[in-house]
Structure 1
Amino acid sequence: MTARSPSAAQQRGMAIISALLIAAVVAVIAGGMLTRQTLFTRALESEQLRVQGSWQLQGGLEVGRQRLWEDRQRDVLTRPDQAWARPIQLAALGPGSGPFEGRLEDEQGKFNLRNLLANDRLDPLQIENFQRLCALLGVNAAVGQRIGQRVIASYPRLLGPEGAAPAASGLHSGRETSPDAARKPLLARQPMLRSLDDLLGIEGVDEQLLARLAPFVTILPANTWLNGNTASAEALAATVPGLTLPRARALIAERDSGQWFINQGDFINRLRLPEVPADKVRVGITSEWFRLQGQARGERRRVRLLALLHRSEDNMPRVIWSRVGV
């Protein structure tokens, strides 16, 4: 029996250690490859779902535009019994994606904060109307005043009453009280507002308050009349001087039973307020501005869409702006 030499035993031990090291390296490399493959697969699936969600949102947007266009060709009136007011539902595009669900809202059925200014000047009537609406909705008067000030600050404006002819002094000191100040517009001091969410940050304005205002108040890029066929009782009572909330609710109940307002004269006659001048009743029967809210639901996430659409008489509705988020 011969004893193994120390050198042979040492070499055998080194070979075992080397084999173990190689096996460990291979295992690490294989694990890394599997991890990268998993991450790549998930990224690919996520991108596929994102693309499917984008197509779903675009499809919902196009359905909304088409409905608005077809309704406008059928009837000049804008009423909540038309096709545009029905929920928009699209089936899922494929595995992993979900359906699109959305709805159009008539933004001219709400009080438009843009109306606080008209022809680059403050509109005292609309400012008073907004204060009345805040009172009807239980919004603190000081908070309502700060909202109005924020809206006014986001637009350039001229000083002085509508139609006033400023004295041609040729001098302007830069003060608002300068004799020639009415000739030079005050520049906007705040960024332009696109939606009620942009009012967050004003003292006293939080998400709960915006949720209370949302069914009754909007911000549009242009001055508008209220649509009597889609407006709430609160919006009507705030817009029509002398119209009480109970009387406005009675008008709404009559309207929603199918007796739609066919023109402004019809609305004024049914008010039964002969003491209110017709030029103070800024209520019509058609709408050009609509908002689409929708979402595409998938297995792991949902993508939301918010868009503002403008419908003219002669062209397909245009998307003025849109926001997409999860």
Structure 2
Amino acid sequence: MRRQQRGVALITALVVVAISAVIAADLAYRTFLDRHRTEAVLHVGQAHQYLRGAEDLAGHLLRRASMELEHHSLDQPWADEIPPLPVDGGQILARMEDRQGRFNLNNLVQANGHVNEAAYQQFRVLLETLELDPELADPVVDWIDYDQEPRGMMGAEDGTYLGFDPAYRAGNQGFQSVTELRLVAGFQDPEVFEQIAPHVTALPTEDDNSWINVNTATAPVLRSLAANPDEAQVDRILEVQEAGGFESVSDFHDIFGPPVRDGLAVDVVSSYFWLVARADIGTTSPTMYSLLFQDESGAVASVYRSFGSE
């Protein structure tokens, strides 16, 4: 009898020890997770502050460029990839590019809702230059304009998009970002989007038509400026870009033989720049995308900012 009691007591003690061990392990694991989550939250907050600091650095580079020269070109410090910047707990990586070296999708439709024919023809030439169907310009116009009348053979309004799965409607407003183009009929194909994306942008429009900076424009965008571009002259412009760019629009016209299409604006300065910055802090690496606007006084401010995706 006593032997049985001792056996029961021993088993009970072992069960208590086992339960205590499980509870202790669970508490230790929960403590680890709580500490890890707290550290992650702190690292993310710290990283976001560093990324805002990257905006300040980008603004400094742009202000310095505007004080030293009266044009923006690819040989200036702002156009160089910023070397990794060591910070407490990690590093910051950043690069900046001129978004006015690209075709502005929002130029396609004017504020009054009418199609900007000069920009429309330019976009068609750009699509052809990239070996894409120029008729793809029509669903892009339809995405922006206010009506529900499909334009051309490939046009698409709500009637098209409501048949998709999942269903949605046309934007009926200007593009907020280039990635929005993935929603437009004809551009859901990743290959089509990847082909056009490096040459287009989504900027606010001024006087219904934001200009192209010929010092930073990509070769396809340069070709789209004229109905019949001369390849030799486009190559010459690219050489000038690498050598420091044009100091004035008249210098550009001296080389660019074909006249720029009526209704299109070109310049050698820019107002909109795209900053991509990543902060590697601890186990977190958030990325920030920021559209910077520089006014005529040289002041720089972010007009669009997102973390994680464009």
The counterpart of 1:118, out of the listed 110, 119, 129, is 110
Contact 2:101/2:218 (8 A) holds in 1: yes
Contact 2:144/2:171 (8 A) holds in 1: no
Which 5+ residue runs of structure 2 have no aligned equivalent?
Answer: 148-169
Whichever of the two has the greater Rg, that structure is 1
**What's the TM-score, normalizing by structure 1?**
0.78
2:265 is aligned with 1:282: yes
2:143 is aligned with 1:150: yes
Query: What is aligned with 2:97?
Result: 105
The counterpart of 1:196, out of the listed 178, 182, 192, is 178
Which 5+ residue runs of structure 1 have no aligned equivalent?
Answer: 1-5, 155-187
Distance in 1 (alpha carbons) for counterparts of 2:277 and 2:34: 30
Distance in 2 (alpha carbons) for counterparts of 1:9 and 1:256: 94
The counterpart of 2:296, out of the listed 313, 316, 319, is 313
CA offsets 1:70-99 (integer angstroms, 9 cap, x no match): 21122221111112111123433234x3x2
Query: What is aligned with 2:35?
Result: 41
Contact 1:63/1:88 (8 A) holds in 2: no
SS in 2 for 1:286: coil
The amino acid that maps onto 1:63 is L
Query: What is aligned with 2:150?
Result: none
Distance in 1 (alpha carbons) for counterparts of 2:182 and 2:261: 36
Query: What is aligned with 1:291?
Result: 274
Larger RCO (CA under 8 A, 6+ residues apart): 2
SS in 2 for 1:302: coil
Q: By how many angstroms is 1:203 displaced? A: 2.8
Q: By how many angstroms is 1:286 displaced? A: 0.7
Query: What is aligned with 1:140?
Result: 133
Query: What is aligned with 2:223?
Result: 237
Q: Percent identity?
A: 25
Query: What is aligned with 1:175?
Result: none
Q: By how many angstroms is 1:13 displaced? A: 3.0
Distance in 1 (alpha carbons) for counterparts of 2:264 and 2:137: 22
The amino acid that maps onto 1:265 is S
Contact 1:64/1:88 (8 A) holds in 2: no
Equivalent pairs counted in the alignment come to 282
Aligned 1:1-326 pairs, distance under 5 A: 6=1, 8-95=2-89, 97=90, 99-120=91-112, 121-153=114-146, 190=172, 192-205=174-187, 206-222=189-205, 223-258=209-244, 260-273=245-258, 276=259, 280=263, 282-298=265-281, 300-314=283-297, 316-325=299-308
The two structures, once aligned, show a CA RMSD in angstroms of 2.4
SS in 1 for 2:198: coil
**What's the TM-score, normalizing by structure 2?**
0.82
